[in-house]
Amino acid sequence: MTTVKTHIQEFFRLKCAPDILAERVFPNAKEITESMGAFYAVWTYLADTFPLDDPYVNLYAVGDGCTPRTATLFAYRTAWQCYSIDPLLRPIRNNTFRLYCQPSSITDYKLSGYPDKAVIVCVHSHATMKDTLNIIQARSRAMVAIPCCVPYNSPIPCISYEDAGIWSEKRTVKIWKQI
C-alpha cells in the first residue's frame, strides 16, 4: 500500500507544509503521519464522491487532539469547511481559513443544521462510532477511522488496511464510503 516514509515525505513536499508547521498544530512527526494517512484514505477512496475542491463538503475531525491537527491539514489541502472537535482542544491563534475549532466532546457538540455532504475523520479518537454518527448527520456521509483504544465497528462493510506510512502501532485504517 504505502512505504514507511511516504506520508512524512509527502508532507514535506507540500507547498503548504511551512504554513501548517507555522500553525504549530503538530507536536511530532508521528502525528503528521497519522493525519496524512487519514488524508491519503480520503483522497484515494472518497474523492470521487466528495471532491477535494467542493466547498460544500464539511469535514469533521472528531477527537482531533489538543490542537486541530487533522482539520488543519484538510483545510489547507481541500476547499472544504473543516471542523476540529475535541474536549481537550486548546484555543489557538487560528490563521487557517475554513477551520473551525470546537472544544467539546462529540456528545456535547451542537451541529447547526445538517450539511448535504459530510466526511468524518477519527484519528485515534476516543469518541465512539455510535455517538459520532448520532450527532453528525448528513444527506451523504462517509467516515475514515484510524482507531486506537475505542473500536470502530459497524455491520456496514468497510475498506480496511494497515498503513505502514503511519508511524504508530495503531495504523489500521477503516473507510466507510457511505454510512
Identify the CATH number of the domain in which residue 26 sits. Answer: 3.40.50.150
pLDDT of residue 5: 61
Domain that holds residue 112: 6-176
43, part of any domain: yes
Closest CA to 169 of 33, 69, 64: 33
Pairing mode, strands 99-102 and 117-123: unpaired
142, part of any domain: yes
82-96: average pLDDT: 87
Total domains in the chain come to 1
- What does the pLDDT look like over 115-130, one tens digit per residue? 999 999 999 999 999 9
Mean per-residue pLDDT of the chain: 94
1, part of any domain: no
* pLDDT exceeds 50 at position 15: yes
Percent of the chain with pLDDT over 90: 89
Cell of 22: 507555522
| Cα separation, 45 vs 113, whole angstroms | 26
pTM score: 0.95
Grade residue 3 by pLDDT with cuts at 50, 70 and 90: very low
